[in-house]
Amino acid sequence: MTRGTRDADGLRVDEAFRCGDCENEWYYTRNRCPDCQSATFSTYRLREGELVAYTTVNVTPPDVRSANVLGLAAFGDVRLIAQMSDDDPEVGDSVRFAGQYELREGGEKRARLTGVDGDG
């Protein structure tokens, strides 16, 4: 897979998938529903989730900010890891995607996770 396809999944960072047959939801792109293998699915926008874990990464690839605060968040059954705009989050925080940032230098601008009550 080239880096171009990886960046250009044609998806917004806050978009997830919903199966048209069994209504299962998932985030990480695949060709079929992981539960019922249906190839019929659509995308939807993630709204509010909960922070399950986070880490501040100091050693990052050359085109990624340092420090890179990453959060593991649950939007219902959908879980994902994404960059956070808050430096000091807490497990259990409510989070949503907001803002426009270059997640990798020179890449398309995308939203980061931010605390719903924060100023992020």
Site for other proteins in 28-87 (CB under 8 A): 28-29, 52-65, 68, 70, 72, 79-83
What does the alpha-carbon distance between residue 120 and residue 108 come to, in Å, rounded to a whole number?
20
What number of chain residues touch other proteins (CB under 8 A)? Answer: 39
Binds other proteins (CB under 8 A): choice among 14, 17, 19, 27: 27
Task: Give whichever of 69 and 115 is closer to other proteins, judged by the CB atom.
Answer: 69
CB of 60 to other proteins, least distance (A): 6
Asked if residues 102 and 109 have their Cβ atoms less than 8 Å apart, the reply is yes
What does the alpha-carbon distance between residue 35 and residue 68 come to, in Å, rounded to a whole number?
33
Structural element, H or E, at residue 29: none
Angle subtended at Cα 15 by Cα 82 and Cα 57, rounded to the nearest 5 degrees: 5
CB of 116 to other proteins, least distance (A): 20
The phi, psi pair for 52, rounded to 5°, reads -95, -35
Task: Give whichever of 1 and 42 is closer to other proteins, judged by the CB atom.
Answer: 1
What does the alpha-carbon distance between residue 69 and residue 75 come to, in Å, rounded to a whole number?
19
Verify binding: residue 22, other proteins, rule CB under 8 A: no
Residue ranges binding other proteins (CB under 8 A): 1, 3, 5-7, 9, 11, 13, 26-29, 52-65, 68, 70, 72, 79-83, 91, 103-104, 107, 110
